[in-house]
Structure 1
Amino acid sequence: MAKTEKIKNIRIQKAVYRGFGLGYLYGKPVFTLHAFPDEKIIAKVRRKGRKAFRGEMVEVIESPCPHRIQPPCPHSGICGGCHYQELAYEYQLQLKREILEETLTYIGKVESYPPITINPSPQTFRYRPQCGFQVQTWENRLKLGYFRFESQDFIPIDDCLLLRPDIIDRIPLIESFLNEHIDLLPNLIYIDFRVKSDGTQLVLTFGFRDDYPDTGDRIFALAPQHIPGLSGILFRGWKTELLIGQGDVEEKVENNTFVIGAGSFFQNNIYQWAPIQQLIQQKLNIQPDDILLDLFCGVGLWSVGVGKNCSYVMGYENNERSVELAGANAERNGLSNYYFEVRDLSQGLGSLPKDPTVIIINPPRSGCSRKLMNAIAQIQAHSIIYISCDPPSLSRDIARLCRKGNYTISSIDFIDMFPQTFSIETAVLLTPESQYHSSDSLRS
């Protein structure tokens, strides 16, 4: 143990975002993983900051959480992926709702909002069709694995209970292939997987430290013989990429078919695809003359699923391939009045071909820029829904929208897209304040 590390008794006051239990030492906050409210723990001081400490759990010595269970995965608490696997699922949902409430209050400064509705995941394991593995040498062989949370410590992984079995079954085959052809893959540092939900197709992304090697054709000629269902490999270098083979995967959600490209974003819980689309449709209450603006549209999950009921759909996204697929998915599913464009939304909204009446915002974890939120606030939409997996950025952005655009929060739904982890997928419906008060008076 390093000289700076001390063993300390800490009482956990509450759970906070990113999987931490919060306690105090010498009046400073201590953030410790796998520690839960009311527990008294022994923790090592792992990192000292000017305003806070980072603790490392040693053991619970008093008042263990009554909702603790034996985690089914042997890597739980080690690999850095699951932060709540040692908790019963019902309590995971309760903790996440409490964390979301506190984040809205203390980061967003949101003074009042409706009760948060919890939408549990139908399955709590084996739900992810996409993941990323680090590639490192372990006991003289290339292995796939994860890093410990907030570190570069490599943990080799033979199984991950969050992943679809069709990914897990292929891990030893891919490792065998890598070790047999290691000379063709210099500076390979990660592999991303995307498997079709029925397991019949696999697309891999090989990520390299510098540029990808010029051996891509040889690799792809050899790999499908070893890896069943492999249809394509995206070779990704520092600034360039090359797809060899078929990188598109086709999935069905409700009555719509979506083609998803290698590297394109798509929701990562196959059991929540239909429920979250149904929820968004219900919340927005689309009318035939509505015009939908879909920001960070990806391959068109919302544009198609919700937009089929609109008179016109506009979608914007900074990934060129995703925008191309969004248009193709619109055509594939019977949309005729649509407009998709590659646009850097961090720079604001720019001009629009039509005035939207309904807006869907589904940004990356970092949220929206101030420019974009200010531009959205100027639009006279009757409904805005903001979807995010990151409560701090969500709270910041919707607070700005309420403040700048005279919108109010009509509903908040927590959709558990990521059981066992700290991520909290949330859909917030915002409506004009006058509309909210009018409907509120009608209800009374």
Structure 2
Amino acid sequence: MNQQNNNLIKLNIVDINNDGEGVGKFEGKTIFVPNTVTGDVVLVQLNFIKQKYAYGKIKKIIHSSPYRIRPSCIVADKCGGCQWQHISPEYQLYIKQNKIIQSLQRIGRFKDVFVLPILSSSQIFGYRNKATYPLGYSKFGNVNAGYYQRYSHKLINLNQCPIQDSRLNSFLAEIKVDIEKQGWSIYNEKTYQGHLRHLALRIGQNSGEVLLTLISTTGNITKIKEQAKLWLERYPNLVGVLVNKNSEKNNKIFGNQTFSIVGKPFLKERFFNIDFKLRPDTFFQVNAQSAETLLHSLLDNLILTGKEKIVDAYCGIGTFTLPLAKRISHAIGIEISHDSIEQAKANAELNNINNVEFYQGAVKDILPTLNIFPDIVLLDPPRKGCDDSVIETLREICPPLIIYISCQPSTLARDLKKICYQNLYKILWVQPVDFFPSDISSRVNCSN
């Protein structure tokens, strides 16, 4: 590669990769450039050069793409919280839709799959109901809270965030000032000194209730109860203050012990006419409105009679299991997390839903042992997709209908290829739903 002027090159951005970075070609190499979009012409400084590819950083935008917009956040190009604020919402949807189609065609080898138009989020901003902010010090010794710059551990300090629920902004701006006044030490991941690691905020989008959690290397924080009481007085929607202990020398956010300091250890949220209790570390959809959109779409396409038996694999706390259980004969939920299963059972009891059973364990172990022939199996696995043994079991029991919900189109396409092998199943429809405006993720709803 011709490297002149400190590796500065002029580059036309012709595509977007799966990590949300702009893609261009220069002298036979593929160049990846964050914060660009198809149609940009940019002056790029190359900073990581390999034989067949390189990464670059924008030095100047020579010609702006018609899909480029001005970000709403002043640190959007620095903060690692979201990658696509510079791309118009309409083009974001196009990229995500096309990513799903390309995955099904290239990885799944499917032809003529009916992919419905992607359903956009009802909120472009303010949709995240949970945020966990690393803590650090500024060069002046002030307490900072924010997100790490992409590909680094440089903390970008924030006082507000446009994609989190706006009702959390006052907490973000003010709590770190209180931490500073109390003199509580901040954890240093290099020296392993200090205590406070993260500030975690969670809000019920429909209830408005808020939980505030400090994640610390110790459960004993000086004068935490006195400060927590002041927080409860200051914020009318704050229902509980907690401390989570994580003394491990790793990048895991939450530890295994959580202590309730004042107020309740959970918040209440209403989702699809079901009441849920959510703890600080409970897995729950961060965009609840898009999750409801997905569930509405699912029910519209299923046309349930009320006699069905459904198995919800990877059920979590029953987010989809419980709304479905109210519309069918019997539901079974499977989840490997013991805490999630206990919460699912408690949520079923809270809502007087008696036609549901929950089993704790790996789906690959539990699914073959069920003494029920399901009419529908709902799959909502982690990003890595389903184990091969799960797919083998599905092909053996051969339920009439499989619903696959995915946040990773590549593993979705891979698994569907295995499920549909030798035409045992046929894809009827695929319904994309955008859960993360300004980010590269999207959810996909797909049935056989």
* TM-score, normalised via structure 1 length: 0.88
Using the alignment, how far apart are the partners of 1:101 and 1:131 within structure 2? 31
Instruction: Please state if 1:374 is matched with 2:374.
Output: no
* Partner SS for 1:170: helix
Point out the more displaced range, 216-225 or 379-388.
216-225
Q: Which is further off, 324-333 or 194-203?
A: 194-203
- Choose the corresponding residue for 1:307, options 310, 318, 325: 325
Task: Tell me the alpha carbon deviations over residues 394-419 of structure 1, each in whole angstroms, 9 at most, x when there is no partner.
Answer: 22222222227822211111111111
Counterpart pick for 1:235 among 229, 232, 244: 244
Q: Which residue does 1:119 correspond to in 2?
A: 119
Aligned-residue CA RMSD in angstroms?
Answer: 2.5
Q: Distance in 2 between matches of 1:297 and 1:70?
A: 39
Conserved in 1, the CA contact under 8 Å of 2:214 and 2:244? yes
Match of 2:321, SS state, is helix
CA contact (8 A) 1:390 1:423 kept: yes
Deviation, structure 1 residue 199 = 6.9
Gaps of at least 5 residues in structure 2 are 187-193, 249-254
Question: Structure 2: how far apart are the matches of 1:294 and 1:231?
Answer: 31
For the Cα contact (< 8 Å) 1:284–1:358, is it kept in 2? no
**Taking every aligned residue pair, what percent have the same amino acid on both sides?**
23
Q: Indicate the larger mover: 120-129 or 214-223.
A: 214-223
The alpha-carbon deviation at position 198 of structure 1 amounts to 5.1
CA–CA distance in 2 between the matches of 1:30 and 1:127? 33
Pairing 1:122-141 to 2, within 5 Å after superposition: 122-138=122-138, 139-141=140-142
Asked whether the equivalents of residues 205 and 236 of structure 1 are also in contact (C-alpha less than 8 Å), the reply is: no
**Which residue does 1:400 correspond to in 2?**
418
More divergent stretch after superposition (155-164 vs 393-402):
393-402
How many residue pairs get aligned? The number is 425
| Deviation, structure 1 residue 5 | 6.4
CA distance in 1, matches of 2:332, 2:111: 33
Contact 1:16–1:99 (8 Å) recurs in 2: no
CA distance in structure 1 between the aligned counterparts of 2:181 and 2:401, rounded to whole angstroms: 55
For 1:91, the equivalent position in structure 2 comes to: 91
User: Whole-Å Cα distance in 2 between the matches of residues 158 and 366 of structure 1?
Assistant: 34
Output one character per residue of 1:285-338: Cα deviation in whole Å (capped at 9) or x when no partner.
Answer: 333221111112111111111121221111111222221121122233332122
After superposition, give the CA deviation of every residue in 1:191-249 in whole Å (9 maximum; x if it has no partner). 222112257432234334xxx31415952453231352150314131353223152322
Q: Please state how far the C-alpha of 1:61 moved relative to its aligned partner.
A: 2.3
Residue 69 (structure 1) shift = 1.8
Deviation at 1:3, TM superposition (A): 11
Classify the secondary structure of the residue corresponding to 1:116.
coil
Contact 2:291 2:435 in 1 (8 A): no
Structure 1 Cα separation of the partners of residues 223 and 391 of structure 2: 47
**Contact 1:135/1:145 (<8 A) preserved:** yes
Taking a change above 3 Å as real, the CA distance of residues 214 and 192 of structure 1, as seen in their structure-2 partners, is: closer
Matching residue's letter, 2:46 = V
Distance in 2 between residues matched to 1:75 and 1:221, nearest whole Å:
34
Contact in 1 for aligned 2:32/2:56 (Cα 8 Å): yes
Residues 261 and 322, structure 1, Cα contact 8 Å, conserved in 2: no
Unpaired stretches in structure 1, ≥5 consecutive residues: 431-444
Distance, in Å, in 1 between the alignment partners of 2:108 and 2:46 is: 30
CA distance in 1, matches of 2:36, 2:402: 37
Distance 1:154 1:271 in 2: 30
SS, match of residue 320 in structure 2: helix
Q: What TM-score comes out, normalization by structure 2 length?
A: 0.87
